[in-house]
């Protein structure tokens, strides 16, 4: 009889109580949750590494721009290397004005290499309809304002509000401006009819 009592007591003592079972379940769940958080912590940086970083963009990573909604006579601004890039969709009338004031320009024949070779033409562009240029004055780095309204003295273009430098609709600088050079044209190419890639061109890919 005494042995049976001892065995029963032992069984009673060794069996886990309801509180112990709850603790065990809690510890299992906590361990699983901690593991999941650890996996997420590893996965997030991995996913992030597949996206272009701000540092990469600042260093000059190419930028895709959708120009499908840009209407004739309008301008939009993108950003590349931390600088504004203007895309102007020029009308036939705007393009016609570009050949009428060469004698007023500092560098009408584009002798200074402010544009890629494929943009060394009368329109300074790949497609005459679209002008692509850095919106930064070559004097002191200010950002000129749009002034597309033509007058008897002004064919339309850009005027720097800081020191009065003037540029035409191709970014060519007018004589007498403080700016010494035409606006810079960045390397670019068209991926599709409505998608522009700034910062990379076909020549660079070769």
**String of DSSP letters for the chain:** -HHHHHHHHHHHHHSPPHHHHHHHHHHHHHHHHHHHHHHHHHHHHHHHHTSPPHHHHHTT--EEEE-TTPPTT-EEEEEETTEEEEEEE--HHHHHHTTS-GGGBS-TT--S--S-GGG-STT-SSSTTEEEEE-S-TTTS--PEEE----SS--SEEE-TTT--EEETT-PBBTT-S--SPPPPPPEEEEETTEEEES--HHHH-
Cα-atom radius of gyration of the chain, to the nearest Å? 33
163 flagged as catalytic: yes
Single out the catalytic residue among 101, 139, 163, 188: 163
What is the spatial distance between Cα 1 and Cα 6, in angstroms, rounded to a whole number? 9
**Residues known to be catalytic:** 163
């Amino acid at each position: 009889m005494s042995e049976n009592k001892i065995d029963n007591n032992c069984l009673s003592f060794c069996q886990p109580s309801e509180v112990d079972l709850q603790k065990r379940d809690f510890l299992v769940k906590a361990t699983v949750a901690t593991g999941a958080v650890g996996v997420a912590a590893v996965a997030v940086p991995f996913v992030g590494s597949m996206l272009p970083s701000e540092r990469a963009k600042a260093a000059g990573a190419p930028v895709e721009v959708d120009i499908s909604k840009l209407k004739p006579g309008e301008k939009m601004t993108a950003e590349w290397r931390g600088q504004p890039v203007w895309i102007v969709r020029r009308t036939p009338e705007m393009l016609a004005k570009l050949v009428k004031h060469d004698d007023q320009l500092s560098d009408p024949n584009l002798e200074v290499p402010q544009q890629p070779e494929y943009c060394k033409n009368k329109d300074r562009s790949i497609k005459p309809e679209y002008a692509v240029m850095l919106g930064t004055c070559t004097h002191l780095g200010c950002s000129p304002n749009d002034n597309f309204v033509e007058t008897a003295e002004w064919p339309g273009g850009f005027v720097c509000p800081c020191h009065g430098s003037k540029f035409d609709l191709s970014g060519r600088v007018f004589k007498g401006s403080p700016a010494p050079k035409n606006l810079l044209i960045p390397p670019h190419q068209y991926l599709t009819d409505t998608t522009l890639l700034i910062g990379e061109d076909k020549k660079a890919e070769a």
